């Protein structure tokens, strides 16, 4: 499968499968059509979501403030919006990670 990334509302929206409570923070590759992101933060109080945004921002070379959870904040399957980059650029940069 290919990574689900689309341009919407002035941002690139990326499908993510979150894995909180992992041993380390990393992009673990594709999980179906989503990007599997493992973070050491627990899934409580938005801590894991904040770490996921930080991991993606670092991988994409954008400020953390430009990466936000737009769907699925309380679920393992999320959609993350990245402002400042188009879907093609996001896909290219993320698929080079992992």
* Confidence (pLDDT) at 47: 96
* Confidence (pLDDT) at 1: 60
pLDDT (tens digit per residue) in 57-92: 999 999 999 999 999 999 999 999 999 999 999 999
The position carrying tokens 């380390």 is: 24
Going along the chain from its start, the domains and CATH numbers come out as 5-95 (3.30.1200.10)
pLDDT (tens digit per residue) in 23-54: 999 999 999 999 999 999 999 999 999 999 99
For 87-98, the three-class secondary structure string (H helix, E strand, C coil) is: HHHHHHHHHCCC
Task: Supply 38's token pair.
Answer: 């493992």
Helix boundaries (H) for 1-98: 47-60, 87-95
Task: Supply 77's token pair.
Answer: 């399957």
**Residue 75's CB: how many other CB atoms inside 10 A?**
11
């Amino acid at each position: 499968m290919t990574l689900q990334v689309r341009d919407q509302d002035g941002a690139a929206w990326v499908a993510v499968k979150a894995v909180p409570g992992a041993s380390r923070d990393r992009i673990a590759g594709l999980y179906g059509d989503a990007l599997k992101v493992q973070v050491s933060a627990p899934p409580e109080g938005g801590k894991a979501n904040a770490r996921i945004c930080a991991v993606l921002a670092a991988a994409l070379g954008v400020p953390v403030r430009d990466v936000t959870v737009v769907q699925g904040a309380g679920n393992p399957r999320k959609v993350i919006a990245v402002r400042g980059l188009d879907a093609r650029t996001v896909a290219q940069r993320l698929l080079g990670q992992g």
